[in-house]
């Protein structure tokens, strides 16, 4: 980031401390949306704060940035599933596809000191800040790929609606004057794996705003090999065709889809063959992992 970062203010520290101290697992993000949906500080500056003793700097002026800054997490149920899928004593390889501002890779790398991270994000404006945070949290065990992932190499148009980096999509139907447009490079998963010193990933997060099916098609060689333990992806009820295609891709192999359900007190993995009402995050998990990994097995609905 070009601007000099500021430190967390006293009022922001109090808000963060109080919300993170609420004794529930899920629901704090909703409470933050009710109490303060937007940042109070109007300076426009990025902010620096501590995450598990690591220094993190980001722009807190959109939803992802504000929530990650105050609660030091974003999509905590996704982080929980990915963390439990990993062996903390092994050099797991994590691909964060659609890394955006790095909330996921920052949280996971801060929790797992041996994790090797490949952050994959096409937006040019996010690169410098993401690389700085990777260097702070996991120096020497990361790679950064400024590209999108698809089933064939291409140059495509990415639309950032109303300067909301978290909603950037390749599938926006109508572009308005407030939207930013960027031509991005699309690489195949095989291209990324072949050029990576880490090889194929053992855990993956996919958040690409409607482009998930194309990413799964690209990841088919990894899925066929069984190298990956778990893939967490986003899917809305309006994306039924994408869910069906993802299911078709993984079904011939030793994987199963689980809906990630959450209550204020727990995260639950629900085995499913279709979309689930009220669920937007799903996990594709290698079958042996559910029986051999006791931490993950505890999340599975009986």
Q: How many residues does the chain have?
A: 302
| Residues 140, 1, 103, 14, CA torsion sign | positive
DSSP per-residue letters across 246-280: HHHHHTTTTEEEEEEEE-SS-EEEEE-SS--TT--
CA angle 204/207/208 to nearest 5° reads 120
Per-residue pLDDT of 90-118, as tens digits, reads: 999 999 999 999 999 999 999 999 999 99
Residue 1 has pLDDT above 80, yes or no: no
- Going by pLDDT thresholds of 50, 70 and 90, the confidence category of residue 287 is very high
| Residues 146, 62, 208, 299, CA torsion sign | positive
* pLDDT for 44: 87
* pLDDT for 94: 98
From the centroid of its chain, how far is CA 277? Answer: 21
- Going by pLDDT thresholds of 50, 70 and 90, the confidence category of residue 211 is confident
Residue 258 has pLDDT above 70, yes or no: yes
Q: List Cβ neighbours of 176 (8 Å cut-off, separation of 6 or more).
A: 161, 162
Residue with the bigger pLDDT between 118 and 301: it is: 118
- Going by pLDDT thresholds of 50, 70 and 90, the confidence category of residue 183 is confident
| Residues 142, 97, 111, 203, CA torsion sign | negative
Domain spans in the chain, listed from the N-terminal domain onward = 1-72, 75-253
What is the β-pairing status of strands 180-187 and 6-7?
unpaired
- SS3 state of residue 69: helix
Residue 173 has pLDDT above 70, yes or no: no
Q: List Cβ neighbours of 85 (8 Å cut-off, separation of 6 or more).
A: 203, 229, 230, 285, 289, 293, 296
- Going by pLDDT thresholds of 50, 70 and 90, the confidence category of residue 165 is low
Averaged over 130-141, what is the pLDDT? 96
Q: 39: which 2 tokens?
A: 């940042």
Residue 164 has pLDDT above 60, yes or no: no
* pLDDT for 158: 72
Q: Looking at the domain that runs over 75-253, which CATH code has it been given?
A: 3.40.50.150
| Residues 302, 260, 67, 107, CA torsion sign | positive
> pTM for the complete prediction?
0.91
> Range with the lowest mean pLDDT among 82-86, 95-99, 175-179, 216-220?
175-179
């Amino acid at each position: 980031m070009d601007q000099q970062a500021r430190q967390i203010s006293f009022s922001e520290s109090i808000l963060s401390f109080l919300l993170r101290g609420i004794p529930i697992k899920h629901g704090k993000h909703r409470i933050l949306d009710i109490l303060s949906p937007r940042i109070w500080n109007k300076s426009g500056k990025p902010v620096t704060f501590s995450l598990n003793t690591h220094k993190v700097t980001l722009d807190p002026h959109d939803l992802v940035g504000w929530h990650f800054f105050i609660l030091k997490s974003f999509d905590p149920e996704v982080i929980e599933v990915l963390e439990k899928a990993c062996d903390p004593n092994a050099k797991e390889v994590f691909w964060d596809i659609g890394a955006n501002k790095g909330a996921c890779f920052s949280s996971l790398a801060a929790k797992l000191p041996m994790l090797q991270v490949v952050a994959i994000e096409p937006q040019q404006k996010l690169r410098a800040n993401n690389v700085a945070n990777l260097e702070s949290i996991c120096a020497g065990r990361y790679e950064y790929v400024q590209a999108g992932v698809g089933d064939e190499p291409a140059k495509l148009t990415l639309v950032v609606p109303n300067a909301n980096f978290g909603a950037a999509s390749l599938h926006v139907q109508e572009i308005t004057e407030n939207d930013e447009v960027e031509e991005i490079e699309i690489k195949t998963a095989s291209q990324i794996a072949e050029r990576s010193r880490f090889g194929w990933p053992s855990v993956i997060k996919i958040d690409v705003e409607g482009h998930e099916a194309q990413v799964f098609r690209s990841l088919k060689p990894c899925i066929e090999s069984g190298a990956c333990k778990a893939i967490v992806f986003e899917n809305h009820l309006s994306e039924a065709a994408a869910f069906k295609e993802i299911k078709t891709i993984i079904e011939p192999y030793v994987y199963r889809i689980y809906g990630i359900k959450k209550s204020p007190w727990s995260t639950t993995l629900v085995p499913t063959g279709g979309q689930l009402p009220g669920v937007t995050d799903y996990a594709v998990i290698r079958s042996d992992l559910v029986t051999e990994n006791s931490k993950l097995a505890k999340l599975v609905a009986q």
